[in-house]
Amino acid sequence: MGLDFTECAICKFFHKKDADEFLPYLCAMDIPMSKYGDLGLYRTKTLADGFDVCDFRYKAGRNTNVASKVIKK
In this prediction the pTM is 0.84
Is residue 21 one of the residues assigned to a domain? yes
Is residue 72 one of the residues assigned to a domain? no
Is residue 45 one of the residues assigned to a domain? yes
User: Quick check: 14 and 20 in contact, CB under 8 A?
Assistant: yes
Coil, strand or helix at 3: strand
Is residue 71 one of the residues assigned to a domain? no
Residues of the chain with pLDDT under 70: 73
User: Which pLDDT score, from 0 to 100, does residue 55 have?
Assistant: 97
User: Which pLDDT score, from 0 to 100, does residue 25 have?
Assistant: 93
User: Which pLDDT score, from 0 to 100, does residue 69 have?
Assistant: 84
Is residue 73 one of the residues assigned to a domain? no
User: Quick check: 40 and 58 in contact, CB under 8 A?
Assistant: yes
User: Which pLDDT score, from 0 to 100, does residue 11 have?
Assistant: 95
User: Quick check: 6 and 51 in contact, CB under 8 A?
Assistant: no
User: Which pLDDT score, from 0 to 100, does residue 72 have?
Assistant: 74
User: Which pLDDT score, from 0 to 100, does residue 73 have?
Assistant: 62
* Residue 27: Cβ-neighbour burial (10 angstroms; 0-12, 13-18, 19+): buried
Is residue 28 one of the residues assigned to a domain? yes
Structural domain harbouring 41:
2-66
Q: Domain count for the chain, please give it.
A: 1
User: Which pLDDT score, from 0 to 100, does residue 68 have?
Assistant: 87
